[in-house]
Amino acid sequence: MPSARPSFTRAELESYRDAEVPDLLPGPGQELHLLFVGINPGLWTAATQTHFAHPGNRFYPALLRAGVLTQAVDPAAGMTDEDREHLRERGIGITNLVRRATARADELTADELREGGERLLATIARTRPAVVAVAGITAYRQAFGVRKAQTGEQPEPVEGARLWVVPNPSGLNAHETVESLAVAYAEPAGAAGLLD
């Protein structure tokens, strides 16, 4: 179990601005079935070195509700080694379009997002996931120059992987719920063979 949830001051969180969080990818001999792509790390994520870690983020609860994960993950204090291994064993990876941490995704520049899209293509080519799910339609449109893209499966695969754009699980995306996110995340997870 993770330690008690930390309490960061605003100044402490700000000290993590521009920090990076390493990708979570399967290890040797483990397949990558589904690669989730966030926009960029938030400050809480950078502080705990754990993707989607902010207590208000609905990513892990939605994955559990969808049946993508088989055990609850509370990453707010930092993901445990057991939690990381659970994702790896399930064939789930996590990366970001942009590596640097900010308080809000709207602090990123259009150039950063375009460069992030190019880097993501290289990551997909290297890691060869079956399915990729980008969490955030606006960031996806900017990163890949597809202004009219809609959420859901995209018409063309990328680097051999089927591609979905799914809603962002941030608490700032207020019109989404754990339930609606679970439905959206179940689609790429099912395509990746992760649902019974």
* In the block, residue with structure tokens 């063979």: 193
Is 4 among the domain residues?
Answer: no
Is 5 among the domain residues?
Answer: no
pLDDT digits (tens, 9 = 90+) for 61-99: 999 999 999 999 988 888 999 999 999 999 999 999 999
* Dist. CA 184–CA 57, nearest whole Å: 15
Is 76 among the domain residues?
Answer: yes
Give the total number of structural domains in the chain.
1
Give residue 1's pLDDT: 45
pLDDT digits (tens, 9 = 90+) for 6-17: 789 999 999 999
Of 95, 82, 81, 99, give the one whose Cα is nearest residue 25: 95
Is 100 among the domain residues?
Answer: yes
* Dist. CA 148–CA 137, nearest whole Å: 10
Give residue 3's pLDDT: 52
Give residue 4's pLDDT: 65
Say what angle helices 59-66 and 178-191 make with each other, to 10 degrees. 60
Is 93 among the domain residues?
Answer: yes
Query: What is the arithmetic mean of pLDDT over 160-189?
Result: 94
* Dist. CA 159–CA 126, nearest whole Å: 9
- Coil, strand or helix: which one is 34? strand
pLDDT at 30 over 60: yes
* Dist. CA 34–CA 191, nearest whole Å: 9
Q: Give me the chain's average pLDDT, please.
A: 94
Is 3 among the domain residues?
Answer: no
Query: What is the arithmetic mean of pLDDT over 124-133?
Result: 97
Name the residue range of residue 86's domain: 24-192
pLDDT digits (tens, 9 = 90+) for 49-66: 999 999 999 999 999 999
* Dist. CA 97–CA 105, nearest whole Å: 11
What CATH number should be reported for the domain holding residue 74? 3.40.470.10
pLDDT at 2 over 70: no
Is 111 among the domain residues?
Answer: yes
Give residue 34's pLDDT: 98
Give residue 8's pLDDT: 92
For the chain, give the percent of residues with pLDDT over 90. Answer: 88
Name beta bridge partners: 36: 94, 133
Name beta bridge partners: 153: 164
Give residue 171's pLDDT: 80
* In the block, residue with structure tokens 């969180």: 13
Is 1 among the domain residues?
Answer: no
